[in-house]
């Protein structure tokens, strides 16, 4: 008697595999022109929750233009931005902020003569209603102090006192304040523009540790930097722009500073696995320093 063969059902006979979740932030085919100048062409990029993505490139690569588009400062000529899979149109920075995206620029936007609490709530002050309503109320300094201390403690920042004036803080402490403030007001993605520039070695280490703690809270981080060792130290993935196009999008594992410099200069080529791009004609105005 011959034993009948038993065939396991193939993949086609089973349920469809679940779809991959949408990225927290998706940049899809974004191009940008300034008159006859092409700043970005067909740029694709994604940032997921709880990861740090590096964005690197030489001066004029288009990093600042892309960051400004994500932040709502500029609008793309083509392509779109999606948050959690939903296409969003950012006409102004407030639109990006409402979508859960915060930005820390190099100038930090801190008021040097005001204390840590005032800077933390700059433009978002809490007001207690007065006899004639909220418009004629008083600043709720007590609650602002409580929440500032709570948020700074959550990220374990090394700021000596929330009553200290910003001018009396070190460069690293100011950067920590700006990052903690931005992280407190976003729940999707934090954009960081050169956060370790002009800092000493110890201050750089503290800022990188802070970025890791923001990531561990489940926020996605897009880090723009010229500091290749810092990028390799903290990023999970790295996207390389060259003349406005993505030339590589790679995992950090196994990468060296020499590899990144090779991608940036064109000495090393690699077909991006998920984010193909093409070279742009020339950098945009305002990109010469980036």
Model confidence at 86: pLDDT above 50:
yes
Is residue 25 a contact partner of residue 188, using CB atoms and an 8 Å limit?
yes
Ramachandran area for residue 45 (φ above 0: left; ψ -120 to 50: alpha; else beta): beta
Predicted confidence at residue 285, as pLDDT, reads 39
pLDDT in tens, 97-109: 999 999 999 888 9
Residue 21's alpha-carbon distances to 18, 75, 186, 195, in angstroms, are 9, 26, 20, 30
Among 8-12, 123-127, 132-136, 264-268, the least confident range:
8-12
pLDDT 10s digits, 184-228: 999 999 999 999 988 889 999 999 999 999 999 999 999 999 999
Most distant pair of Cα atoms in the chain: their distance: 96
At residue 287, the pLDDT reads: 43
245 has pLDDT over 70: yes
Pick 98 or 128 by higher pLDDT: 98
pLDDT at 3: 41
76 alpha-carbon distance from chain centroid = 18
Higher per-residue confidence, 14 vs 62: 62
Give the burial class of 124: count Cβ atoms within 10 A of its Cβ; 0-12 exposed, 13-18 middle, 19 or more buried. exposed
Let me know: does 43 contact 66? Beta carbons within 8 Å: yes
Distance from C-alpha of 221 to C-alpha of 225, rounded to nearest angstrom: 12
- Give the residue from 213, 271, 212 showing the smallest Cα distance to 240: 271
Instruction: With H, G, I as helix, E, B as strand and everything else as coil, classify residue 165.
Output: strand
**Burial class for 26, CB neighbours closer than 10 Å (0-12, 13-18, 19+):** buried
- pLDDT at 52 > cutoff 70: yes
- Residue 254: its pLDDT value, please? 87
CB 69 within 8 A of CB 79: no
Q: Does the structure show a pLDDT above 50 at 232?
A: yes
Side-chain half-sphere exposure of 37, counting CA atoms within 13 A: 15
Provide CATH 3.40.50.300 ranges for the chain. 36-76+92-98+191-285
Indicate whether 255 pLDDT > 50: yes
Under a CB-based contact definition with an 8 Å cutoff, are residues 31 and 40 in contact? yes
pLDDT at 252 over 70: yes
Chain centroid, CA 231 distance in Å: 13
Q: What pLDDT, on a 0 to 100 scale, did the predictor assign at position 159?
A: 92
CB 223 within 8 A of CB 53: yes
Burial call 184-208: b when 16+ CB within 10 Å, e when fewer: bbbbbbbbbbbbbeebeeebbebbb
In this prediction, residues 252-265 reach a mean pLDDT of 93
3-state secondary structure of 80: strand
Give the residue among 35, 50, 33, 44 at the shortest CA–CA distance from 70: 44
Average pLDDT for the chain = 86
CB-CB contact of 101 with 188 (8 Å) = yes
pLDDT band for position 22 (50/70/90)?
confident
Q: Is the pLDDT of residue 15 over 90?
A: no
User: For residue 21, is pLDDT > 90?
Assistant: no
Q: What would the CATH number be for the domain defined by 36-76+92-98+191-285?
A: 3.40.50.300
- Encoding tokens for residue 103? 């930005």
pLDDT at residue 171, rounded to an integer: 92
Confidence of residue 269 (pLDDT cuts 50, 70, 90): confident
State the distance between the two ends of the chain, measured CA to CA, in whole angstroms: 78
Q: How confident is the model at residue 27 (pLDDT cuts 50, 70, 90)?
A: very high
Q: What is the mean pLDDT of residues 75-79?
A: 97
Q: Which residue has the higher pLDDT, 163 or 289?
A: 163
Percent of the chain with pLDDT over 70: 83
């Amino acid at each position: 008697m011959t034993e009948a063969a038993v065939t396991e059902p193939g993949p086609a006979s089973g349920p469809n595999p679940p779809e991959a979740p949408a990225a927290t932030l998706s940049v899809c085919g974004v191009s940008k022109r300034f008159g006859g100048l092409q700043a970005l062409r067909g740029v694709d990029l994604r940032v997921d929750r709880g990861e740090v993505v590096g964005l690197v490139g030489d001066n004029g690569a288009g990093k600042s233009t892309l960051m400004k588009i994500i932040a709502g400062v500029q609008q793309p000529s083509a392509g779109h931005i999606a948050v959690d899979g939903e296409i969003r149109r950012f006409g102004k920075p407030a639109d990006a902020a409402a979508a859960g995206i915060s930005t820390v620029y190099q100038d930090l936007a801190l008021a040097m003569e005001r204390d840590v609490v005032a800077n933390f709530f700059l433009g978002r002050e809490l007001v207690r209603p007065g006899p004639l309503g909220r418009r004629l109320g008083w600043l709720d300094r007590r609650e602002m102090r409580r929440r500032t201390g709570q948020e700074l403690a959550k990220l374990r920042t090394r700021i000596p006192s929330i009553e200290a004036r910003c001018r009396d803080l070190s460069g690293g402490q100011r950067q920590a304040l700006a990052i903690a403030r931005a992280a407190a007001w976003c729940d999707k993605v934090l954009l960081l523009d050169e956060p370790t520039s002009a800092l000493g070695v110890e201050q750089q280490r503290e800022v990188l540790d802070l970025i890791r703690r923001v990531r561990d809270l489940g926020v996605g981080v897009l880090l723009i930097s010229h500091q290749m060792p810092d990028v390799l130290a903290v990023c999970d993935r790295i996207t390389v722009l060259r003349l406005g196009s993505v030339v590589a999008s790679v995992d950090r594992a196994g990468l060296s500073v020499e590899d990144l410099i090779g991608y940036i200069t064109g000495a090393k080529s690699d077909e991006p696995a998920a984010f193909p791009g093409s070279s742009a004609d020339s950098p945009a105005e305002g990109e010469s320093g980036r």
